[in-house]
Amino acid sequence: MKKTKTSRKPKKTTYAPLLRRGCVHIQSSYNNTIITLTNHAGLTLAWSSAGRCGFKGTRKSTPFAAQCAGEQMAQQCRTHNIAQVDVFLRGPGPGREPSLRGLALGGLRLRMVRDLTCVPHNGCRSRKTPCL
């Protein structure tokens, strides 16, 4: 008995939802600057850091490395169709403002900038401040 051919329907291609807004979390320490792109639910979409941009050792802690990481994050935001971001800053490092500048130079619109650096109310003894 001969098998009858059934025509297959072509698979529909699904596209990622068009996200217009996202959240960028910048964690700036004295050694590195880490930038994470999330949606408003908190799910990580992309990340970048000064080390990922090719800087090693003490060059990771420079403001120029943080600016390069910010520009790389702006490129990743474009691939995720994100044009506007809310920025959350954490940490006392030297890459705080340059990473913001890198995001703005990359063409992102910064809707909000909020500082979430933890400030102790006389809790544990803080570590020695580095001599620069």
- Of 97, 85, 54, give the one whose Cα is nearest residue 72: 54
Domain residues of the chain, as ranges?
21-115
- CA–CA distances in Å: residue 129 to residues 27, 118, 132: 18, 16, 9
Q: How far apart are alpha carbons 27 and 19 in whole angstroms?
A: 23
Task: Tell me the per-residue pLDDT of 57-90, one tens digit each, with 9 for 90 and over.
Answer: 999 999 999 999 999 999 999 999 999 999 999 9
Structure tokens at 124: 């544990």
Tens-digit pLDDT profile for residues 106-128: 999 999 999 999 988 988 888 88
* Domain spanning 21-115, CATH class: alpha beta
Backbone dihedral angles phi then psi of residue 65, each to the nearest 5 degrees: -65, -40
**Are the CB atoms for 12 and 25 separated by under 8 Å?**
no
pTM above 0.95, yes or no: no
Q: What is the Cα gyration radius of the chain?
A: 21
